[in-house]
Chains A and B, each alone.
Chain A
Amino acid sequence: MKLLLKLTLLVAVLGLGACANNRYLGDTTINPNAAGAAGDPNSVAYFNQTVGDRVLFLVDQSSLTPTAEATLDDQADWLLRNMEYTALIEGHADEQGTREYNLALGARRAASVQAYLISRGVSASRLNTISYGKERPIEICSNESCYAQNRRAVTVLSAGLGS
């Protein structure tokens, strides 16, 4: 009975986790212990929520908006304070485009974020890029409110893997 209860609790926790974090994390898994509390400015949770782990792009563009640059300034500061983290920058596109083109467009977006972070002092060796094109939408409606969220580059942190 006790065991059953524990299992139920575990399932509940996993269920919650899935709800709170329904976005796709690529192939990188974040160690939840390393995440820390969102109040801790050196935590992954703080990076993801307060700094902001993503920047958004205009239609068919890979240049950074002033808002995106402000977010990336904060990302760079965080990365310079937390040298044990590396980052995989995922570039994404909305569904209004052909598959191959969107892969290339996502790569442009990821590279544009990478270049900006490097310009702010983050070592290139800590930053990798990948593109998912239109394969991993976070919002699934077919209008601009969703497309705007999907045209993104997400900085996914990884602990202790400095190369």
Chain B
Amino acid sequence: MTRFLTIAFLALASLAAPAVAQDTPGPLRIEITEGVIEPLPFALPQFIAGPGAEDQAADITRVIAADLSGTGLFREIPRDAHISPITSFDSPVQYADWQAINAQALITGSVTIEGGQLVVRFRLFDVFSNEPLGAGLQFVGSPDSWRRMAHNVADNVYERITGESGYFDSRVAFVHEEGPKNARLKRIAIMDYDGANVQYLTDSRSLVLAPRFAPDGQTLLFTSYESGSPRLYTLDLATVSRRPLSDHLNGTMSFAPRFSPDGDRIVFSLEQGGNTDIYLMDVATGMQTQLTEAPSIETAPSFSPDGTQIVFESDRSGSQQIYIMPATGGEARRISQGEGRYGTPVWSPRGDLIAFTNQQSGRFHIGVMRTDGSEERLLTSSFLDEGPTWAPNGRVIMFTRETAGTDGAPAIYSVDISGRNLQRVATPGMASDPAWSPLNN
């Protein structure tokens, strides 16, 4: 992005109290793996505004609250229930007043403008333990980066309470769609994970499909019909310039690309003479290696986070199923064992799960399974759900949901891996093919 942003990340000297040890059992803890039924109540008084920072203080507080509440793990206690107002960032916390309204977590903060820079400070308190949870933190950035600073505060709160990294300071690339179902126009676009700051990266002259992030979050891979037939392009997000990925054999189709975790290789599907197989391309040299060689359809490849294996779909058994093979090719083992057809496998960034699309009895589902196919869980069900993408922390999945009929339209949804907290993600219009970025740098 061209937008200037630096975030200084310092502990406040005045608050150098030791952080609560990670292994201390306390009430202020969410185990995400359990699936949360009762969200943790938190109080978030509006951050104290310095001169001229009133709007930013309100906006930043609002975004932090939306981030936390949006997870389904936290619930904000309305401000009109607060007993003691926070009038100064440094005044002592009246724990009893927050206990009385059953706030388990209290987040306080300030927003000031210092030397043209926006300075955001915050503290997190474990209300029922009568103590801060972790040190106070300060973020410094340009005023137009206020959203990222809010997401950083929320990520810190999430991390301290759940013990897992957050995902709020991240982006989503997707396909923006316009027009009737039989004349759709598509554009690659990017936005913050919460739908803010939408930017269009291609025009609608050429059909484009399925953007995918490079591991550094600075480059997208996508498929475009710009040259007449589908082939792969990279798009530099800083300059919004795209280029075709390599020489392309006429009469063939390249699609379904994804980067390797080190960013040095791209795995993709190449179709020749009606047959689709999986290939690996070295980004630096353009050298291609064929990884599968079968008359069946092999597509939708995705690397394991350690780069040693590739999960993909194939109809070699007679119907679409999910397989894992070494990243160098070779023998593949089938992992999908349930009912129906399985496609679009994506390896979790944590390495533990594969997300997929399942199709059975005329319905589509997004699901997750372990890498050996066990513990399969279908998380969603609709007329058409497809194309999961993982949050950077491997706890939430976004996907495309398309409605049926002549007015059928795609939208982006998110769901957590326990199947809870299904939500529609805000987009300016119809949207499909989400790709969640790594955490922003």
Contact = CB atoms under 8 A, between A and B. Distances in A.
Interface size, B (range): 35 or more
B341 to A, nearest CB: 8
Given A105-B297, A140-B182, A100 B344 contact: yes
Given A104-B299, A130-B253, A131-B230, A98 B343 contact: yes
Given A24-B183, A129-B251, A101 B313 contact: yes
A140 B274 contact: no
A142 B405 contact: yes
Nearest to B385: A98
B51 interface: no
A42 interface: no
Contacts of A72: none
Contacts of B338: none
A107 B274 contact: yes
A110 interface: yes
A22 B182 contact: yes
A103 B255 CA distance: 9
- Is the contact region of chain A dominated by helix, strand, or loop, or is it mixed? mixed
Contacts of B181: 137, 140
Interface size, A (range): 35 or more
A140 B387 contact: no
Contact of A95 (B209, B228, B384): B384
A27 B225 contact: yes
B249 to A, nearest CB: 12
A86 interface: no
A155 interface: no
A81 interface: no
Contacts of A40: none
B182 A24 contact: yes
Interface in A105-145: 105, 107-112, 114-115, 128-132, 135-142
Contacts of B192: none
Contacts of B271: 103-104, 107, 131
A103 B253 CA distance: 9
B302 to A, nearest CB: 11
Nearest to A28: B228
Contacts, number: 107
Nearest to A113: B274
Contacts of A95: 384, 402, 408
Given A137-B182, A140-B181, A142-B383, A98 B357 contact: yes
Nearest to B400: A99
A132 B183 CA distance: 12
A101 B182 contact: no
B269 A104 contact: yes
A107 B253 contact: yes
A22 B273 CA distance: 29
Contacts of B275: 108, 111
A162 interface: no
Contacts of A108: 274-276, 297
A113 to B, nearest CB: 10
Nearest to A112: B274
A3 to B, nearest CB: 30
Contacts of B386: 98-99
A103 B274 CA distance: 10
B359 interface: yes
B406 interface: yes
B207 interface: yes
Contacts of B230: 103, 130-131
Nearest to A136: B182
B85 interface: no
A96 B404 CA distance: 11
B433 interface: yes
Contacts of B387: 98-99
B339 to A, nearest CB: 16
A62 interface: yes
Contacts of A36: none
Interface of A: 22, 24, 27, 62, 95-101, 103-105, 107-112, 114-115, 128-132, 135-142
The 5 residue pairs across chains A and B that have the minimum distance between CB atoms: A111-B274, A142-B404, A104-B276, A98-B343, A140-B181
